Structure 1
Amino acid sequence: MRVEFDAVTVRMAGRTVVDRLTLDVRSGEVVGLVGPNGSGKSTALRCLFGALRPTSGVVRVGGADVASVSLRDNARRVAALTQESRTELDFTVREIVELGRYPHLRGNRRLTARETEVCKDALRAMDLLALTERSVVGLSGGERQRVFLARALAQEPEVLVLDEPTNHLDVRHQIALLSYLRGCGRTVVVALHDLNLAAATCDRVAVLGDGMLREFAEPGLALRTELIRTVFGVEATSITHPATGDPQVLYALSRPSTSEEATS
C-alpha cells in the first residue's frame, strides 16, 4: 500500500519539528528514516499511524488522508511499534500478541481459528513460540520488544511503522527482524539510528536534519560521506560490503592528543 507525506509540517511548542516533509513510499517498499536526535523522525511516524495530526500538509495511506480516518480503521491497515511501547500488566506473551487483533474484532467476540493461527505465525516470526505462556513482566527488554513486534504483525497490516525496532535486540534478532522486513512484502517505514542496518535493509533512505528532508534516495547515495558529515557532524567513510554489495559506513573516532602532540 502506498504511503505519501505531502508537504507535512508539524509545529509544537512554538518550534517547527517537521518542515514541509514530502515523501512517496511505493507499495511493498522498505523506507528508512535516519537522522540525528530531534530531526523529526518519530514525529513524522506519529503522523503516519494517526497519533498526531500535522499542522499543515497531508499524510495519505492508500490515497486516504490519515486524519480523516478513525484510529480503529487506520489500525486495520497500519500497525505501529513506538519507542514508548510497554506494559506493566501481568499478561502472557500470547495475550499481548492477541491484542493485535483488536482493531478487527467487534464486541467481545472470541478469536477465530484463523485469527489464532495469525497470532501463532506472528509469534513464530519473532522467535517467541517457546515463551507463549510466559508473563511479559518477567521478560528481558529484548524479549519484550519482540513481543510488541509480534503484536504489530498480528494486526495483519498492509503498512508497518517501526520506530527504532532494534532497540534492546541482540545481534541475531536484529538481523532476523531486518531480514524479515526485507521479505515480508508489506510497505515498511522504519526509523533507525544505525546507518549500516538502514543501508542493508532499506530500498530507499530518507535523511532528515532539523526537521527537513536532506536526501531521499537509494542507500548508496543517501549515505554518502559528505552528507553524513553535514547532517550528523561526524567523519565517516562509505565502503561497499564485500559479500552483499550493500553500502556500509566506517566512522572515524576522534582521539585525544598525546602530551607530545600537544607541545609539538
Structure 2
Amino acid sequence: MDLRLDGLSVVTDGKSLVRGLSLDVPDGQVVGLVGPNGSGKSTALRCVYRALRPSSGTVWVGERDLARLSLRQSARTIAAMTQDGAVDFDFTVEEVVALGRAPHLQGNQALSGRERGLCERAMHQLDIGHLAQRGVLTLSGGERQRVLLARALVQEPSILILDEPTNHLDVRHQVELLSLLRGSGLTVLVVLHDLNLAAAACDRLGVLAGGRLVTSGTPADVLTPELVADVFGVTATVVPHPLTGGPQLLYSLGSSR
C-alpha cells in the first residue's frame, strides 16, 4: 500500500517543526528519513501513526485520507515502533507481542490458533522466542526493542513506521533487523541516524533539515559529500560498498565545520 505525505506542516507554540513536507513511500519499498537532530523526522512520523495532528497537509494511505479513518481502521493498516515505546507494566514478552493483535479483536476475545502462530513466528524472526516467559522490564534495551518490533509485525500492517529501530541493538541484530525489513514486502518509513545503515537498508532516502525536505532519491543520488557537508556539517568520502556497490561514507575526524 502506498503512503504519501502531502504538504505536511506542524506548528507548535508558534514554532514550525515540519514545513510543507511532501514525500512518497511506494508500496513495498523501504524509505528512510535522515537529517540532523531537530530536523523534524520524528515529528513527521508522529503524524503518520496519529500521535500528532498536522497543522496542515494530508497523510494519504493508498487513496484514503488517514484523518478520515477510524482509529481501529488506521491501527489495522499502520503499525509503529517509536523511540519512546515504553512498557510500564511487567508483562511477559509473549503478552506484549500478543498486544499487536488488539486492533483485530473485540473485547477480551482470545487469540486464535492462527494468531498464536503469528506471535510465535514474529518472536522467532526477532530472536526473542527464548525470552517468551521473561518479564519485559527485566530485558536489556536491545531485547526490548526487538519485542516491540515483533508486536508491530504481529499487527499485520500494510505500512510499518519505525523511529530509530536500531537503537540499543548490537551489530548482528542491526543487520538482521534491516534485512528483515528489506524482505518483509511491507511499505516502510523509517528514521535512521546511521547513514551507512540507511544506505544499505533503504530503497530511497528523504533528507530533512530545519523541518524541510532538502532532497530525496536513491541513496546513491542523495548521499554525496556535498550534501553531507551542507546538511550534517561533516566531511565524508563516499566509496562503493565492496559487495553491493552501494554508497558507504568514511568520515574525516577533526574536519567538521
Q: Shorter-chain TM-score: what band?
A: over 0.9
1:67 aligned onto 2:35: no
Question: Does the residue aligned with 1:16 lie in a helix, a strand or coil?
Answer: strand
How do 1:1-264 and structure 2 match up within 5 A? 1-254=1-254
- Kept in 2, the 8 Å contact 1:49–1:66? The answer is no
Structure 1 range deviating more: 83-92 or 32-41: 83-92
Question: Does the residue aligned with 1:242 lie in a helix, a strand or coil?
Answer: coil
- Kept in 2, the 8 Å contact 1:163–1:191? The answer is yes
Q: Deviations over 1:185-211 (max 9, x none)?
A: 000000000000000000000000000
**TM-score, normalised by the number of residues in structure 1:** 0.95
Aligned residues: CA RMSD: 1.1
Question: Which runs of 5 or more residues in structure 2 are unaligned?
Answer: none
Report the alpha carbon displacement of residue 63 of structure 1 after superposing the two structures with TM: 1.5
- Kept in 2, the 8 Å contact 1:228–1:234? The answer is yes
* Separation (CA, whole Å) in 1 of partners of 2:134 and 2:59: 38
Amino acid of the structure 1 residue aligned with 2:74: N
- Kept in 2, the 8 Å contact 1:81–1:148? The answer is yes
Question: Does the residue aligned with 1:115 lie in a helix, a strand or coil?
Answer: helix
Report the alpha carbon displacement of residue 107 of structure 1 after superposing the two structures with TM: 1.3
Structure 1 range deviating more: 65-74 or 140-149: 65-74
* Separation (CA, whole Å) in 2 of partners of 1:215 and 1:181: 23
**TM-score, normalised by the number of residues in structure 2:** 0.98
- Kept in 2, the 8 Å contact 1:100–1:154? The answer is yes
Task: State the 4+ residue runs in structure 1 displaced beyond 6 angstroms.
Answer: none
* Separation (CA, whole Å) in 1 of partners of 2:13 and 2:63: 30
Amino acid of the structure 2 residue aligned with 1:250: L
Report the alpha carbon displacement of residue 92 of structure 1 after superposing the two structures with TM: 0.4
Q: Deviations over 1:20-68 (max 9, x none)?
A: 0011111001000000000000010011111111111101111211111
Question: Does the residue aligned with 2:168 lie in a helix, a strand or coil?
Answer: coil
Report the alpha carbon displacement of residue 73 of structure 1 after superposing the two structures with TM: 1.3
Report the alpha carbon displacement of residue 140 of structure 1 after superposing the two structures with TM: 0.6
Question: Which runs of 5 or more residues in structure 1 are unaligned?
Answer: 256-264
* Separation (CA, whole Å) in 2 of partners of 1:137 and 1:32: 30
